[in-house]
Amino acid sequence: MVGRGNKPSALAATPGLAPQPTVTFSSDNSRVTAELPTGESVEILLYGATVISWKDSKGDEKLWVSSAAKLDGTKAVRGGIPLVFPVFGPPPASGHPTSSLPQHGFARTSVWEFLGKSTSESNPTSGDASGSANAADLSVKLDFGLSAASLTAEVRELWPYKFNLIYSVTLNRENLTTSLVVTNDDDKPFESQVLLHTYLRVNDISSVSISGLASSTYIDKVANASVGTQTADTLSIASETDRVYTTPNGASDVVTVSEGGKTRYTVARDNLLNVVVWNPWTEKAAGMGDFEPKEGYKNMLCIEPGSVGTWQTLEPGDAFEGAQTITIPL
């Protein structure tokens, strides 16, 4: 379990093998860090299973986290990759099973269990016949779990369904994959929504363009939930933006974030039909107590794959799986 006292401080590589990914725990067992031999790293807070850092081999951070974010388990983290389940945004009006839950549900404010790690290695890249670990495509996968039994009695009363969530974070040299499997362990169906609330770091939001959303319909939350269609090939951010896109080709449409005309990130989805694009801009950022610095909106962009356009109904024993892969140019 999360709090066991004899948890090792590090899971080291087997002696005699080429350098392998390492997994370490913080002294209070509140977070897990994985690092590849080539220097890439990812850090996950067990509170919410929130990814709070993803760095490339040079140590450059790819995720934006507010300097005022609470990382002590007292509040959902502002930044990184919070998990949204079983409801996206403010819950619907009274009468829906999620109506008593807080905004974005309880997954991001629950303590998850670390289930373990696994590593893989493919053939060395062409041009390097040494077979060294630096030339190989190493990856490390971290698994986390949350079930109804893990919730507080208060939350179980608000949403009294038996469920199981498995969240996997996979790091390799050029990308980060996060996937969530939702299983209905109850004897009755339930409805839910899933979203990966990803805060990408950028240098200057005014130089950013987003492609891959052309011809998508969207709900514009800034404009009273009006419905529109993305007619331009690219989207730029110049004011508060909060849109829920449904891409015309489903999850096969890849979203690309460019900055200064160069690709910064590509976001591929698996079974997540919606993409939320969010930036709070000046006034909204100023009104959020945990958003710091207030000028931070210039350095972040939320591209959030999810299944939130409607409700996913899971029958007893059924499962839903969705994933995103964020790729950076090497």
Which one of 197, 295, 315, 321 is the catalytic residue? Answer: 197
Q: Is 108 annotated as a binding residue?
A: yes
Residue 201: what residue type? R
Which one of 43, 154, 304, 315 is the catalytic residue? Answer: 304
Residue 23 backbone class (left: φ over 0; alpha: ψ -120 to 50; beta: rest) = beta
* Cα 278 → chain centroid: 14
Length of the chain: 330
User: What is the distance between the alpha carbons of residues 141 and 59, in angstroms, rounded to a whole number?
Assistant: 20
Helix, strand, or coil (residue 157)? helix
- List the structure tokens of 254: 């890849």
User: What is the distance between the alpha carbons of residues 321 and 182, in angstroms, rounded to a whole number?
Assistant: 6
Q: Is 103 annotated as a binding residue?
A: yes
Residues near 224 by beta carbon (within 8 Å), at least 6 away in sequence: none
Instruction: Let me know if 304 is a catalytic residue.
Output: yes
Instruction: Let me know if 104 is a catalytic residue.
Output: no
**Catalytic sites, residue numbers:** 197, 304
Summarize the annotated binding site as residue ranges. 78, 103, 108
Summarize the annotated binding site for substrate as residue ranges. 78, 103, 108
